[in-house]
């Protein structure tokens, strides 16, 4: 099990920034830091940090995901199968456990941003599925793809959104 960072000290981990100004709904602007992974068991742990006004890409978690809010806030707006939306607000110290195949959602920090720890278990190796503004699938990303991009020194999806 490779450990990428033995600490989750925000000042010492390596951050990778993802920014996409082409999204018309919101500014995609966040950072992440890979902490460790285990490809055979399908596990990946990472930090995710949103700055003021920054969002993640529109996505859903295919992997079962533990979320712990370490700093600030986390806001999600889930797109439910019946077309309605569900707002979720988590504050520093909040813990959540989401089953695999979660609902697609938009995600961002609070007024002063936020940082979360994500611990994901992907039995088939797939972590996320990404969506465009019309909820068309843009493809999935696996643990192996995330790790490979990290080892190359680039942020996953920074040159292109994603590939299937």
For 112-150, the pLDDT digits (tens) are 999 999 999 999 999 989 888 888 888 899 999 989 999
Determine, yes or no, domain membership for 25.
yes
Determine, yes or no, domain membership for 2.
no
Q: CATH code at 88?
A: 2.60.120.10
Residue 45 has a pLDDT of 96
Number of domains observed in the structure of the chain: 1
Determine, yes or no, domain membership for 130.
yes
Residue 143 has a pLDDT of 92
Rg (CA), the chain: 15
Residue 84 has a pLDDT of 94
Per-residue pLDDT of 87-112, as tens digits, reads 999 999 999 999 888 898 989 999 99
Residue 64 has a pLDDT of 95
- Number of Cα atoms under 13 Å in the Cβ half of residue 150: 24
Q: What is the DSSP letter of 23?
A: -
The CA-based diameter of the chain, rounded to the nearest angstrom, is: 43
- Number of Cα atoms under 13 Å in the Cβ half of residue 160: 7
Per-residue pLDDT of 32-51, as tens digits, reads 999 999 999 999 999 999 98
Determine, yes or no, domain membership for 111.
yes
Determine, yes or no, domain membership for 156.
no
Residue 162 has a pLDDT of 38
Long-range pairs for 153-162 at CB < 8 Å and ≥24 separation?
154/16, 155/16, 155/17, 155/18, 155/32, 156/16, 156/18, 157/18, 157/57, 157/130, 158/16, 158/17, 158/18, 158/19, 161/20, 161/57, 161/130, 162/57, 162/130, 162/138
Residue 135 has a pLDDT of 84
Determine, yes or no, domain membership for 153.
no
Determine, yes or no, domain membership for 128.
yes
Decide if pLDDT at 159 tops 60: no
Confidence band for 154, pLDDT divided at 50, 70 and 90: confident
Q: What is the DSSP letter of 124?
A: T
Decide if pLDDT at 54 tops 90: no
Determine, yes or no, domain membership for 11.
no
Domain span at 98: 16-145
Q: Which pTM does this prediction carry?
A: 0.87
């Amino acid at each position: 099990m490779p450990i990428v960072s033995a600490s989750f000290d925000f000042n010492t981990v390596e951050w990778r920034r993802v920014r996409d100004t082409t999204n018309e709904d919101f500014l995609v602007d966040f950072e992440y830091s890979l902490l460790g992974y285990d490809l055979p068991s399908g596990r990946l742990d990472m930090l995710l940090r949103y700055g003021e006004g920054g969002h993640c890409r529109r996505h859903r978690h295919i992997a079962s995901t533990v979320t712990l809010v370490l700093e600030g806030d986390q806001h999600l707006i889930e797109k439910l199968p019946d077309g309605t939306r569900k707002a979720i607000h988590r504050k520093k110290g909040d813990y959540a456990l989401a089953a695999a195949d979660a609902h697609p959602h938009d995600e961002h920090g609070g007024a002063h941003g936020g940082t979360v720890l994500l611990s994901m278990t992907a039995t088939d190796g797939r972590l996320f599925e990404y969506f465009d503004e019309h909820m068309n699938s843009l493809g999935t990303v696996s643990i192996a793809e995330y790790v490979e991009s990290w080892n190359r020194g680039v942020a996953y999806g920074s040159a292109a959104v994603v590939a299937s």
